[in-house]
Amino acid sequence: MDFQPPAEPAVFHAPLRDQFEALLDEHRSLLHDSLNGLTEEQARRSLVTSKTTLLGLVKHATFVEKVWFDEAITCRSRTEIDIPDTPDESFDLDDSDTIALVQGAYEQTCAASRRATAELTLDDLVQGNRRGPLPLRWVYLHTLRELAQHCGHADILREQVLSATTRRN
């Protein structure tokens, strides 16, 4: 992915919006990169009772971005955006879902999210969320919270996948 965490803590003293965007991009990158170096089978491996897999997490993150930075901002329906109705469905994998395709879709969606917010301020209200109008700052915080949770899930799943490979060798 194009974005990496800043090498210097300059973001500590940057405007709040820059701080939000740096942290969002850091978590986006970490989640995207959780698939790097894995086989297709490893990325799809189910290790928990839910639908959560590493590939499914990145596919779900694409859904999250589209809900918060497309649906909420443009007021387009989920049908128009071509995303599932529920978060649970966003973890479903098709036979055509590959690491490259899911990562590529996530990269494109994150870039679209950045474009969608470029002209907005943190205090601007987005109108298209099911909860009603919300300030962009809340959208940033909510998305950051969700991505942070999923990065933790990805860390654990990746550790399990890679340790299973190590034990077999």
**What confidence tens digit (pLDDT) does each residue in 118-135 have?**
999 999 999 999 899 999
Dihedral sign of CA atoms 129, 131, 136, 141 in order: negative
Question: Does the pLDDT of residue 7 top 80, yes or no?
Answer: no
* AA letter at 16: L
- Dist CA 2 CA 79 (whole Å): 29
Q: Quote the pTM value.
A: 0.91
Output DSSP code: residue 125.
E
Angle between helices 54-66 and 136-168 (to 10 degrees): 170
Helix (H) or strand (E) holding 126: strand 125-126
Output DSSP code: residue 3.
-
